[in-house]
Amino acid sequence: MPPLPKEHRVFVVDDEDVIASTLAMILRFQGGFNARSFNSPVEALNAALTDPPDLLISDVVMPVLTGIELAVQMQALCPHCKVMLFSGHASTAEMLEPARLSGISFELLSKPVHPGVLLARILQLTDSAPPPPPTWTAQGLEA
């Protein structure tokens, strides 16, 4: 059996609880990631002080801090942290422009994001192999 890949820590941040918790659950169960959900960008930054993530997935339009501001601050705290942003607002690309002009670039996905597309992109970003599919044996389903 090949060695298991490193378990990547992923922070999912969205001010809509159902989105953050659902995405984190999908990442845990379908991708094998150590995913945590946050409804507040400030809570995610505080958590990063003691448990820095390998990947930040964040909505862009949120109160207090935008996802872009969160991403910039997260990368200052955790330089190795990769960032993926998602948004359902058409104006988000314009919001990214000041960051791009300062040499910072983030991947942006449009909401709604199909979980399979999100998981595939995350696996590419984290250089993880996808989990092997379950196989059937004479005794039943094998993990």
What's the CA gap between 53 and 51, in Å, rounded? 6
What is the model's pTM? 0.77
Query: Quick check: is 1 in a domain?
Result: no
Confidence category of residue 100, pLDDT binned at 50, 70, 90: low
pLDDT of 33 higher than 60: yes
Provide the 3-class DSSP secondary structure of residue 3.
Answer: coil
Question: Where residue 72 sits, what CATH number does that domain have?
Answer: 3.40.50.2300
Per-residue pLDDT at 102: 62
Whether 3 maps to a domain, the answer reads no
Q: Provide the 8-state DSSP code for 81.
A: -
Q: What is the mean pLDDT of residues 30-34?
A: 86
Q: Domain of 124?
A: 9-142
Measured between alpha carbons, how far is 55 from 65 in angstroms, rounded to an integer?
A: 18
pLDDT tens, position by position, 41-75: 999 999 999 999 999 999 988 888 988 889 989 98
Question: Residue 6 is encoded by which pair of tokens?
Answer: 């490193």
Contacts with 1 (C-beta within 8 Å, 6 or more apart), sequence order = none
For the chain, how many structural domains are there in total? Answer: 1
- Within-domain flag for 39: yes
For residue 19, being part of any structural domain is answered with: yes
The pLDDT confidence band at residue 132, using thresholds 50, 70 and 90, is very low
Distance CA 17, CA 23 (A): 10
